[in-house]
Chain A
Amino acid sequence: MTQPSVCRQRVVVNLDNGLHLVPCSQIARTSRRFSCDLRIVNGDTTADSKNVLDLMQLSAIKGTELDIEAVGDDAAEAIEELIALFDSNFDEP
């Protein structure tokens, strides 16, 4: 068996209203396309990135630093897509 790949990347929330329901649902929808385990960490709180309710509870307001962690075959690809979401600022103006 090959060692599953582990990826970790830090992002900063740049949304005026924080990571609210709409961006959380975009993250969850994107995450569910991948088979790897995906987590987002804010300090002591860890959320399953495929779960909207979990993500909301990160309570990530504007400026919060989050760590995205992925473990599994498509980890690198998944992280890349999530970073792209943050980079586009979730299509908010």
Chain B
Amino acid sequence: MAPNEKMINKRGIAVSPGVIAGPALVLGVEDFRIPQRFVSVDAVSSEVARFEAALDAVCRDITENEEVARRQLGDQYGAIFAAHYQLIRDPKLIEEIETLIRDKCFSPEFASSRVLRKYAKEFQNLGSRYLAERATDLFDLEKRLLKQLLGERREELSHLTEPVVVLAHNLTPSETANLDRQFVHGFATEVGGRTSHTAILAGALEIPAVVGIGTFLSSVSGGELVIIDGNHGEVIIDPDEATLDRYRDAKARLHSVAERLLSLRPLTNETKDNVRVQIFGNIEFPDEVVHCTERGADGIGLYRTEFLYLEKNAEPTEEDHYSAYRQVVSAFADRPVVIRTLDLGADKVPASEEFSDLASENTVLGLRSIRLSLENLALFKTQLRAILRAGVHGDIRIMFPLISSLLELRQAKMILADVMEDLEEEGVAFRKDIPIGMMVEVPSAAMMASEFAREVDFFSIGTNDLIQYTLAADRSDPAVAQIYNAGDPSILRMIKMVVDAGLESEIPVTVCGQMSSDPKFLPLLIGIGLRQLSVTPHAIPALKEVVRSITLEEAERIAEQALSLDLARDVEHHLREELKKICPDLIL
């Protein structure tokens, strides 16, 4: 086997916990998977011949491209392909690849990829940006060669037959949603932030994931053993034995803590002095209800319905909505299920193509979420009808996202009333007294919380967007990850304002968003008066342990101290230290 002297260690943002080791499947720069890294000694000469045949075919392709380019675009474009031809015919390059096949029994695919990527990496370090970008030409040649070599054997992500960890430049939310959990045991991407949709989905799939690593795919060919540590945000390529041992230990330890936490399931979520704290689950897919029930969730505090829209390329029908909602609510006969209406940008909703021209580059501040629903009433009403109808089967509640003004809230409520009237006329059964809530995730809504509290039945604070908008830091941009911080004093004050407004009007307030899934924030949130959280299902057992280990008095003291601090850094440190005292083995 190949020696491991080339262990590479990369750091990114941990977005879904757990540790996994497995062979790498590389996506992104190229879409090819190298199925086999080594060939048997007997096969070496036929493999070299296979490589040479592929090389000839690539050269023929390039020559054809050159002629077409010269004819249609001009000589200087043809010259690019002439350069590719020179490059791929380079005797030194060919010899290097063939030596790897002959002497090390590398498969032609693996050998070509290795050698071309080695040069691509050297190009990336060249003196000028323009020269460095020539690495792309080498990736192009790699792609051409692999395409020839693999031919029909090109494997797609959806046709996996053995366990892998996926390494990619980026995974779209729908790609992530469609990952085959049986075979994809973890993933790592070059881009993405803590609260990007891809990250949220990784949590939902409950597979270890690390995002925002930066450029690293050029050092991987595929097939290497890779460790993904979703607790610390580490990715280790070609680990040595000592490292592997360390990870096996860590995995065993995590497993035993998880077992112990799961044993808390039948116990009530209450503090040592019997203050009841409700912990709900956040879900994306109906199937995830199981993740919540098996961990003893008090209900569903946030059902994100976006994936009904993302999974297919067509707008979901009323029946699609209805059957998904019904599936969720049937699992929770007596406990609440909060359904959030569509929370996507115009660019992501097939039915809103007419609006996608309007979608500016910065969709975060553009026509999305409730704004899109209010512009596209047919789409909105379809969803509202299904929610109201499913409401007869259990405790379904409805929640509007991204509300930024009272006018918007009133419009949304008016349309809901219209839909109710339609259903009434049609004689269709629905829940007439459905509780109506809103997300508080735009700073304007937090500032006006007292006024809003008089017009809704509950609040849910969406910290992911609230942090992004308050601190003006894009949540998916690793470059501003330091600024995007749940511990920022401005965020704590904003949350407190909303909680106070809720208490004053006697409506329940929940915090959903990644912040509430982080055990260190829990004492603070309880201390400022929150009694409900909605979290990633896998976080429920750990949060339960924290709740059951503190008293209200302790939580209030921790909150008071946190609110007296000026810097996010100090708040984080304080909360971490306090958690260490309460539940030491939850500190990873």
Contacts and interface: CB of A to CB of B under 8 A. Distances in A.
Interface of A: 17-22, 24-26, 28-29, 48, 51-54, 56-57, 59-61, 91-92
B80 A21 contact: yes
Contact of A22 (B83, B93, B126, B128): B83
B131 A61 contact: yes
B3 interface: no
Nearest to B135: A56
B285 to A, nearest CB: 47
B126 A53 contact: no
Contacts of A29: 86
B521 interface: no
A21 B137 contact: yes
Contacts of A52: 83, 86-87, 90
Contact of B86 (A17, A28, A48, A60): A28
A28 B75 CA distance: 19
A20 B131 contact: yes
Interface in B89-141: 90-93, 119, 122-123, 126-128, 130-131, 134, 137
Contact of A54 (B76, B83, B92, B123): B92
Interface string B281-297: 00000000000000000
Interface size class of B (residues with CB under 8 A): 20 to 34
A56 B124 CA distance: 11
Interface of B: 75-76, 79-80, 82-87, 90-93, 119, 122-123, 126-128, 130-131, 134, 137
A20 B123 contact: no
Contact of B92 (A24, A51, A56): A51
Contacts of A57: 122-123, 126
A18 B128 contact: yes
Contacts of A21: 80, 83-84, 87, 134, 137
B80 A59 contact: no
A85 to B, nearest CB: 13
Nearest to A90: B79
Contacts of B122: 57
B134 A53 contact: no
B442 to A, nearest CB: 46
Contacts of B84: 21
Contact of A24 (B83, B93, B119, B128): B83
Given A51-B90, A52-B90, A53-B119, A25 B83 contact: yes
A24 B85 CA distance: 12
A2 B85 CA distance: 37
13 contacts: A17-B128, A18-B128, A21-B80, A21-B83, A21-B87, A22-B80, A48-B92, A51-B90, A56-B131, A57-B122, A57-B123, A59-B127, A92-B76
A75 B93 CA distance: 25
Contacts, number: 64
A26 B75 CA distance: 13
Contacts of B119: 53
In this complex, which of B75, B84, B131 has the most chain A Cβ atoms within 10 angstroms of its Cβ?
B131
B128 A56 contact: no
Contacts of A19: 131
A28 B119 CA distance: 17
A53 B92 contact: yes
B133 to A, nearest CB: 9
B87 A25 contact: yes
Contacts of B130: 17-18, 20
Contacts of B83: 21-22, 24-25, 52
In this complex, which of A52, A57, A92 has the most chain B Cβ atoms within 10 angstroms of its Cβ?
A52
Given A51-B90, A53-B93, A59 B128 contact: yes
B93 A56 contact: no
A21 B119 CA distance: 13
A61 B122 CA distance: 16
B90 A56 contact: no
A93 to B, nearest CB: 8
A18 B134 CA distance: 12
Contacts of B75: 91
Nearest to A64: B127
A92 to B, nearest CB: 8
A6 to B, nearest CB: 24
A14 to B, nearest CB: 15
Contacts of A22: 76, 79-80, 82-83
Nearest to B115: A53
A13 to B, nearest CB: 11
A17 B122 CA distance: 18
Contacts of B86: 25, 28-29, 52
Contacts of B85: 25
Closest 7 CB pairs of A and B: A25-B86, A25-B83, A59-B127, A59-B126, A17-B130, A21-B83, A61-B128
Nearest to B137: A21
Contacts of B92: 48, 51, 53-54
Nearest to A93: B76
Given A21-B80, A22-B82, A59-B126, A53 B87 contact: yes
Nearest to A16: B130
Nearest to B116: A53
